[in-house]
Amino acid sequence: MIRFVTAGESHGPALVGIIEGIPAGMDLSVDMLQHDLSRRKMGYGRGGRMKIETDEVRFLSGVRRGKTLGSPITVVLENRDFRNWDVDMDPNPREGEPGRVVHVPRPGHADYAGAVKYAHQDLRNVLERASARETATRVALGGIARRYLALLGIEVCSYVLRIGQVEIPAPISEELLGDLERLREMVMGSEVFCPDPAVSASMVEAIREAKKAGDTLGGILEVRTNPLPVGLGSYVQWDQRLDGALARAMMSIQAIKGVEIGLGFESSRRFGSQVHDPFITGEGATEIVRSRNNAGGVEGGVSNGQPLVVRVAMKPISTLYEPLPSVDLSTGKSAPATIERSDICAVPAASVVSEAMACLTLAQAVSEKFGGDSVEEFLAHFHASETRNSIRWNRK
Ligand SMILES: Cc1cc2nc3c(=O)[nH]c(=O)nc-3n(C[C@H](O)[C@H](O)[C@H](O)COP(=O)(O)O)c2cc1C
């Protein structure tokens, strides 16, 4: 079983993540995680913090001489910005030095509900942990999960479909979707991780306009895999459904407010005949194949051998440079909402985080199905399974 937790405050000394259940003997180095961490810092519309942080990973446990040990793997990312916050974020008592105290909650952020829940007077005690800085740890752990999935040839990628009102007008061609390497190249060639250059330029313009107005923007992104092995997840119990696990994982990301699998909400508008993916026989009638993938790779909570397609909606960033009205909780008087250094649009970054969460969720499902304490044992279990990509006719 794979499980993971994260810890750390946005301006604290460091972020920490622990993942357990990765088999022994897997190649792993910090370099393998660094690319995703750099991608998370990118995207037009990010704030100044991203220029401060290097997000270099260090392993504290679970890896020795480039191989996993089978024990819990601990990753640490130092917050370079801590040096500007060492007094405010000092874990030791500092009598008579309250530091920079926050009393005015930002509508849309965790500030108010978190302060009431944990009885905090200083909203910094909430926002430091609620901040999406935490997602850097998820991306590091997601990179480990990505290596684990790669042992089975599973690849995960993502791209941005919409920012505010600007969206890709037509579906991305099947040819491009079938070539994840090329798709990834096109995504990386865009400042907003959108594979359509003309639409990318309009998205950048929309973010620029929002910034000028002191406002923020959200959007929609899609996460996609190559064809998955059949049988990840299960219909036998509510909490074993793969679609349910993915929806929860995506909704756990800060500011994510909607998740669709495959055709998603659009399927509710169509007749069944236009939604469900017919079974047809493949070459020589030895395989069953599907003529389309409206189900997004999951039927009955189980992966069906098709690529996984998950779409995620992100709300606009809630810290506004032209702040909304709020109330100072220390005086009860009206006041503009607090301004923390902030992104204008973080949809591209959220696409990297969504990939990480997809990797972690799929890794959990893969390890439940195939298990294995060592890579050797894991691969032996996998190869013993006949279910990859298609179900054979006349299975014995
Ligand atoms: C990658 C990423 C970056 C984010 N950056 C900011 C930011 O700079 N400022 C901000 O107010 N919210 C930011 N958010 C969103 C907040 O963290 C989020 O809205 C807040 O924690 C409240 O949670 P909720 O929106 O899920 O209710 C970001 C979210 C993500 C995924």
Query: Mind spelling out the 3-state secondary structure of 67-97?
Result: EECCCCEEEEEECHHHHHCCCCCCCCCCCCC
Probe target for ligand 1 pocket from 131, 321, 340, with the most ligand atoms within 8 Å of CB:
131
Distance 268 CA to ligand 1 centre (A): 30
Fold annotation for 3-384: Chorismate synthase, AroC fold (3.60.150)
Specify burial of residue 292 (Cβ count, 10 A radius: 0-12, 13-18, 19+): middle
> b or e along 1-19 (b: 16 or more beta carbons within 10 Å of the residue's beta carbon)?
ebebebebbbbbbebbbbb
Give percent of the chain above pLDDT 90.
Answer: 89
- Condensed to tens digits (0 to 9), the pLDDT of residues 177-195 reads 999 999 999 999 999 999 9
* Residue nearest to ligand 1 atom 11, measured at CA: 319
pLDDT at 396: 35
C-alpha span between 36 and 247 (Å, rounded) = 22
C-alpha span between 32 and 238 (Å, rounded) = 35
pLDDT at 387: 54
Helix pair angle (347-370, 31-41), 10° resolution:
140
Say if residue 392's pLDDT is above 60: no
Distance 116 CA to ligand 1 centre (A): 19
- Condensed to tens digits (0 to 9), the pLDDT of residues 214-249 reads 999 999 999 999 999 999 999 999 999 999 999 999
* Residue nearest to ligand 1 atom 28, measured at CA: 132
Ligand 1 within 6 A of 10 CB?
no
- Ordered by start, the domain boundaries in the chain are 3-384
pLDDT at 210: 98
- Condensed to tens digits (0 to 9), the pLDDT of residues 271-314 reads 999 999 999 886 666 677 889 999 999 999 999 999 999 999 99
Give percent of the chain above pLDDT 70.
Answer: 96
pLDDT at 358: 98
Structure tokens, 92: 């030791």
C-alpha span between 193 and 301 (Å, rounded) = 29
Q: Which run of H or of E encompasses 302?
A: strand 302-303
Residue 386: band (very low, low, confident or very high) from pLDDT cuts 50, 70, 90: low
C-alpha span between 245 and 259 (Å, rounded) = 11
Residue 394: band (very low, low, confident or very high) from pLDDT cuts 50, 70, 90: very low
Ligand 1 within 6 A of 310 CB?
no
Q: How far is CA 1 from the centre of its chain?
A: 20
pLDDT at 395: 39
- Condensed to tens digits (0 to 9), the pLDDT of residues 51-78 reads 888 999 999 999 999 999 999 999 999 9
* Residue nearest to ligand 1 atom 13, measured at CA: 317
Q: Which residues contact 321 (CB under 8 A, 6 or more apart)?
A: 211, 214, 215, 339, 342
Mean pLDDT of the 104-118 span: 98
* Residue nearest to ligand 1 atom 12, measured at CA: 317
Say if residue 345's pLDDT is above 90: yes
Cβ atoms 28, 62 nearer than 8 A: no
pLDDT at 168: 96
Say if residue 389's pLDDT is above 80: no
Ligand 1 within 6 A of 258 CB?
no
Probe target for ligand 1 pocket from 318, 347, 357, with the most ligand atoms within 8 Å of CB:
318
- Condensed to tens digits (0 to 9), the pLDDT of residues 156-169 reads 999 999 999 999 99
Mean pLDDT, rounded, of the chain = 94
- Condensed to tens digits (0 to 9), the pLDDT of residues 146-157 reads 999 999 999 999
Sheet with 307-314, edge to edge strand ranges:
166-167, 156-163, 219-227, 307-314, 256-261
* Residue nearest to ligand 1 atom 4, measured at CA: 132
* Residue nearest to ligand 1 atom 9, measured at CA: 342
